[in-house]
A and B are shown apart, each in its own frame.
Chain A
Amino acid sequence: DGGITQSPKYLFRKEGQNVTLSCEQNLNHDAMYWYRQDPGQGLRLIYYSQIVNDFQKGDIAEGYSVSREKKESFPLTVTSAQKNPTAFYLCASSIGRGSKNIQYFGAGTRLSVL
């Protein structure tokens, strides 16, 4: 059945290490998004992509990188430059613009620093 799959569910990062979070969708959605959630805060946008091979920075892009080589996939790399990476990361997708642009979310990846 259709949906958004994030993996892994839990991830641990060592100091100075880059880690990549996977996000795959089979909803045939054009747009995909990465958010970060910290305790007591709302979701903050890291990066988003409207179409394959194109992506834009969100509000907190520093220390993160993304790629969009396939419509179905939008991996997020948390680089060593991100000094406070511990958070819950959520991937979302949507069909496009306008009133039909409802974002649907995956189950999330919880990233912790060792």
Chain B
Amino acid sequence: DQQVKQNSPSLSVQEGRISILNCDYTNSMFDYFLWYKKYPAEGPTFLISISSIKDKNEDGRFTVFLNKSAKHLSLHIVPSQPGDSAVYFCAARQINDYKLSFGAGTTVTVRA
């Protein structure tokens, strides 16, 4: 049973515009959320995280928004750059747990 869902398998955006990636979760015990970025044939790299005590966390061009009541989070990338073309995974866990639950990923393609 998949507890973290990324319902959009792909997203195409023009360079310089905003990319918005969405993620939903079903487990109300999750209180820590992460986004990872993955290039082909490489391991995922950590991008940004947010705990449930916040509703927004920003790091440079990347902002994560959390809506706990809707069990929904989103990642905004502004402005999108060609190097942002990758697969983005949403992940979640209970803050004191070791185990991460991952979504299936969203492939972002940034067009020149």
Query: Which single residue of chain B is at the shortest CB-CB distance from A30?
Result: B98
Q: In the complex, what distance in Å separates the CA atom of A40 from the CA atom of B104?
A: 6
Q: In the complex, what distance in Å separates the CA atom of A24 from the CA atom of B102?
A: 23
Check if B89 is an interface residue, CB within 8 A of chain A. yes
Q: In the complex, what distance in Å separates the CA atom of A105 from the CA atom of B42?
A: 9
Residues in B with CB closer than 8 Å to A107 are 41-43
- Select the stretch in A13-21, A43-51, A68-76 that faces chain B: A43-51
**A19 → chain B closest CB, angstroms:** 19
Chain A residues within 8 Å of chain B by Cβ, number: 29
**Majority-rule SS of B interface residues:** loop
Interface residues on B, range: 20 to 34
Residues of A57-104 whose CB lies within 8 A of B = 58, 90, 92, 94, 97-99, 101-104
Residues in A with CB closer than 8 Å to B93 are 101
Residues in A with CB closer than 8 Å to B95 are 97-99
Q: In the complex, what distance in Å separates the CA atom of A99 from the CA atom of B49?
A: 9
What mask results when residues 75 to 98 of chain B are scored 1 for a CB within 8 Å of chain A, else 0?
A: 000000000000001000101111
Check if A42 is an interface residue, CB within 8 A of chain B. yes
Among A43, A90, A97, A110, chain B packs the most CB atoms within 10 A around the CB of A43
* Nearest 4 CB-CB pairings of A with B: A105-B43, A42-B102, A43-B102, A42-B104
A6-B43, A48-B98 known; 13 other A-B pairs, CB under 8 Å?
Answer: A4-B43, A31-B98, A42-B89, A42-B101, A43-B100, A90-B44, A98-B95, A99-B32, A103-B100, A105-B43, A107-B41, A107-B42, A108-B42
